[in-house]
Amino acid sequence: MSEVVMDKSQATITELTTIGQLIDGEMIIDGERSQPIFNPSTGKSEKNIDLASVATVEAAITSAQAAFPAWRNTAPIKRARVMFKFKELLEQNAEKICELIGQEHGKISHDAMGELQRGIENVEYACGAPELLKGEFSKNVGPSIDSWSEFQPLGVVTGITPFNFPVMVPCWMFPMAIVCGNTFILKPSERDPSATLFIAQLLQDAGLPKGVLNVINGDKTAVNTLLTDKRVQAVSFVGSTPIAEYIYSTAAANGKRCQALGGAKNHAIIMPDADMDNAVNQLVGAAFGSSGERCMALSVAVAVGDTAGDLLVEKMTIAMQDLKVGPYSNPKNDFGPVITKAHQEKVNAYIDSAEKDGATIVVDGRNPEVVGYEDGFYVGGTLIDNVTTDMLSYRDEIFGPVLQVIRVNTMQEAMALIDAHEYGNGTCIFTRDGEAARYFSDHIQVGMVGINVPLPVPVAYHSFGGWKRSLFGDLHAYGPDGVRFYTKRKTITQRWPSTSLRENVEFAMPTLK
């Protein structure tokens, strides 16, 4: 590991042109390997990211391990007070955080602010640590015997987070892990690390002891080091399904607890009785918001009957005429660019393949004209009709501003094709029929379900996670499952025998008759 080049008193993240690591409270630059960070709105590189070496990652683990004993023994109320202060600093620095998100992700300010607010809500939930970590107590489970359980931290844990939510998804992980008494190593996306590193600095400003949160920026070298080091006890991940499966299998092979959230292909069923104007308004935001780069984005509308299908396509076409794609710096834009040039080409290739396979491109978002930002990574809102389940564009997760329409004859047929897909992250139904909605929510094989709600993302005091190949692991992210994931239960049974009584040796299993 290289020498320390600066600390937070010398420079803030907004002033850096090379983004490094935050280890034991100090900014570190390896200097061995780096790669550019692009502004997707302009297509130009404005910063570089230092890619951590194995030695640097190991130094972060050592720092977290050294900080663990004292932090583990810190009272939960004191841990919570740090989170209360952290929440305050996030709110005070909201504009700066959203600017960093926009510069490196391309997200429009109103969308970035929504992401930040969702992250803050998870911090608020973590502020309840004294209540969340209370154990269970039973008195007199046997003669003068009491039994109780308590929730103890795991130790050093890590989170590997995606580019599409550089603030919200880290806040799904480290606030809860830390208030539970763990120390944390965060590996954000190398595409847009600045906002993540900035909020980590804010947590230090809130009073978090050095070493409790370390941030590593890197690539597969950093990830593999975290997955194989015996000192790391648990791994949280959000990203694509192939990588989620790799993370989960590698972590499990190395004896670690793991939750790995993968990809999605989220369907909305449009019933014949749906309020079509409301459905269209909801679908526009759910399909194209954040350029479709959300694991909960609605990418397939399943119209039940041609009448519903024709009306949906007609109204969607009209609604999409006013969509504005452009740079993050203009709040009048509806959504910005996709993350990289390579991803722009990938999304366009899926549209090409749908057209080649016989689908109808109703609204074509390929190569939109964004005056003054011709080199940006833009894809406009795209609507594709007459899609079938054998098409590549249907099977794969596109992760772009593309909505595909499939037509079926019955609700049962719509549910069957949703259940048949390998992903089971989110889904919804638009209907006025309560019986149909209840049947749908009871029987659909998907983890998160909306009824006339297109993005059924659970609030912070519930938990987030899909089914099938959208989640590897037993516990969902944040909320009550977050507490369970970042702690281990210990049960203690205790008796203090009276000195006036003689204890008899017993060889049978103790029972209470």
**Domains in the chain, CATH or no CATH each:** 4-41+58-132+153-262+470-491 (3.40.605.10), 266-451 (3.40.309.10)
**Residue 295 known to be catalytic:** yes
The beta-carbon contacts of 367-372 under 8 Å, at least 24 apart in sequence, are 368/325, 370/325, 370/326, 370/327
The pLDDT value given to residue 1: 45
pLDDT tens-digit map of 136-155: 999 999 888 999 999 999 99
The pLDDT confidence band at residue 10, using thresholds 50, 70 and 90, is very low
Whole-number pLDDT of residue 340: 97
pLDDT digits (tens, 9 = 90+) for 104-130: 999 999 999 999 999 999 999 999 999
Backbone dihedral region for residue 478 (phi beyond 0: left; psi -120 to 50: alpha; all else: beta): left
Question: How far apart are the C-alpha atoms of 43 and 25, rounded to whole Å?
Answer: 33
Sign of torsion over alpha carbons 23, 25, 29, 35: positive
- Tens-digit pLDDT profile for residues 292-343: 999 999 999 999 999 999 999 999 999 999 999 999 999 999 999 999 999 9
Nearest to 239 by CA among 22, 425, 427, 475: 425
Over residues 17-54, the pLDDT tens digits come to: 899 999 999 999 988 899 999 999 999 998 999 999 99
Q: d(Cα 66, Cα 52) in Å, to the nearest integer?
A: 20
Instruction: Read off the pLDDT band of 377 (50, 70, 90).
Output: very high
Contact assessment for residue 429 and residue 268, using Cβ atoms and an 8 Å cutoff = yes
Cα–Cα separations (whole angstroms), residue 252 to 162, 233, 256, 485: 21, 10, 5, 14
Whether 6 has a pLDDT exceeding 50, the answer reads no
pLDDT at 143: 86
pLDDT given at position 14: 64
What's residue 46's pLDDT?
A: 85
CA-atom Rg of the chain in angstroms: 25
Using DSSP's 3-state secondary structure scheme, residue 32 falls into coil
| Residue 156 pLDDT greater than 80, yes or no | yes
pTM: 0.93
pLDDT tens, position by position, 397-449: 999 999 999 999 999 999 999 999 999 999 999 999 999 999 999 999 999 99
Of the candidates 98, 171, 295, 428, the residue annotated as catalytic is 295
Residue with tokens 């959203």: 98
Is the pLDDT at 8 greater than 50, yes or no? Answer: no
Cite the DSSP H helix spans in 106-183: 109-126, 129-132, 168-179
